[in-house]
Structure 1
């Protein structure tokens, strides 16, 4: 989460009042993440909320989140649904952009997840996939294969020869595995379930955050995205096979992977690292072009994902 739209405490008061809530007394920008502007709010009655201003999604695009989160809440998933305003709307407008308020859930981001936390995350991700199995959302992954191939073409000339080789070998591995297994199980995925989009209390997942990337794609991609961020040899960028085994065991407790998924997993781990290597390169360039900087704008290091990709590709 970052801050691209700068607002004051006075700016948010009409928005808060429109939800039938008492005034806010603190407004704290949230660092981390890379796409939306997020703030912690504290109200005069002590309640704590999260204000999100959507920077990339238009109003129609962001409107799917309220019903989706209500569905997940009914399914027992630890999510915070947006609050309705006086007119019953869960998506409003602030600073001429779509915005929402949601309760702040308890817990902490896991800095260096242990074995138990990796297993719990695997189970929760499988619960999420099954909870969304029949949910009627027709939303394509805007950061899927078509997107990363376009970004790769756009950024290729700025890469070293070694980086171009890394890119080409990963895309070749993906082409091979999708030809061998063209019908991998798919459904709605979170698409961005990194540590900073989860909260834990001890070994238990207490919150899943930021569903703005939720879309239809291969479940294995979602597994790989989350496993890559949770299953590391801390504090290095190297993948950790013990943590990965715990994560996959937790996932399989809820949903067993087919033999095709098991065979394709190593390639998808590399592909997930490629996806975020490219997105961080692309966002870094966009931030530079648009003059987005400052202490409240998070620019994640592309090299972290490049190093992880190199290690994962060597294992295929």
Structure 2
């Protein structure tokens, strides 16, 4: 939510009037990296308060923003979202209902939405991870009613093109990390993974909370500009990566700490609303790594875009791509460890090996089917790469 396009007070007043809102003041919002955003104070607001968020979408065309308005209205009442206001007097009586929520200005869409109560969390708890997991599952379930889903989601960004551009300038180890993760993702049985409309940017700074200690409550889900048809497990991985990670600042050496107990809480919350399939569970480790790669590329792409467009100034925020690179490396280390691990069924009496399996699920299934499993147990072993 940086500010790229500058508007005058007269322009703000005219746009707000079209939404039936009496404008007093616009306050720039500098968090985020894609669109231009302002808080709108109305003539009815007391000093220091504001009632609406005014967004000018820098990249998404107005027709895509109109789809987002339909999605938000579908979720309204089931999740804490801010549905866009309708234009009081649409420019054309023939305009379809979707476009009545979006003003077009210089080929860019503008919406006005009510402010939601709450604050962005600086830190997350296991309980918060559980609750946002449940909210994401509810989002996935609710949006299944919008069919065909492709008519409501925006196209997925061509990240492979960004990868091909950026990988040329990376050190060899970084390029290999990105390539290995990308290949592992492509090797997944993607056709079998459930998919539908996904948020794809559910970071902590796109949520609002009542942060009363010990009683934190989700009060807002924000930024639906990237809603696309994607694998649900990718949306889960994107959200886990932010909610379950502590991002160190420069003074802390910009370390990245991933909390696996928070991830467990998140998944428990998610599955309280929608059960994951076995194939989704098996794909999760690679998806976590791929999701980190996508946001590594996103941040590199913002730097590239700002440079080519000459974007500078205090209202332009750039997030550090190296943090996502480090998270990708962390997840990939767990994928590699799993690839070098086998699960062995052993007779605890004779120490005789009864079976060797590549996953714990397959080993436990074989154990449950064994005629006499009283003395059998499953043990985990790392493969010696020199053998």
Q: 1:36 corresponds to which residue?
A: 35
| Pairing 1:183–2:195 present | no
Please point out which of 37, 59, 62 is paired with 2:62. 59
On the 8 A contact 1:106/1:199 being kept in 2, the answer is yes
Contact 1:62-1:98 at 8 Å conserved across structures: yes
For structure 2, list consecutive stretches of 5 or more residues without a partner in the other structure.
91-99, 249-254, 336-387
Within a 5 Å distance, the mapping from 1:1-316 to structure 2 comes to 1-22=1-22, 24-46=23-45, 48-74=51-77, 76-87=78-89, 89-94=100-105, 97-136=108-147, 137-139=149-151, 142-143=155-156, 147-178=158-189, 182-202=191-211, 203-233=216-246, 235=248, 236-316=255-335
CA distance in 1, matches of 2:132, 2:8: 36
TM-score scaled by length of structure 1: 0.94
Number of residue-to-residue matches in the alignment: 310
TM-score by length of 2: 0.77
- Please tell me whether the aligned partners of residues 141 and 217 of structure 1 are also in contact (alpha carbons under 8 angstroms): no
Q: How far off its partner does 1:20 sit?
A: 2.0
- Counterpart CA distance in 2 for 1:66 and 1:243 is 32
* Residue deviations 1:85-133 (CA, integer Å, cap 9, x gap): 2225211134652101000000111111111111111010001000111
**8 Å CA contact 1:124, 1:251 repeated in 2:** yes
Q: Distance in 2 between matches of 1:182 and 1:80?
A: 33
Matched residue SS, 1:222: helix
Greater RCO (CA < 8 Å, at least 6 residues apart): 1
For residues 170 and 314 of structure 1, what CA distance do their matches in structure 2 show?
Answer: 10
Distance in 1 of aligned mates of 2:108 and 2:228:
22
What's the CA shift for 1:283? 1.4
1:238–1:307 Cα contact (<8 Å) kept = no
3-state SS of paired residue (1:182): helix
RMSD of aligned alpha carbons: 1.6
Shift of 1:250: 0.6
8 A Cα contact 1:70 1:81, kept in partner = yes
Q: CA deviation at 1:311?
A: 0.6
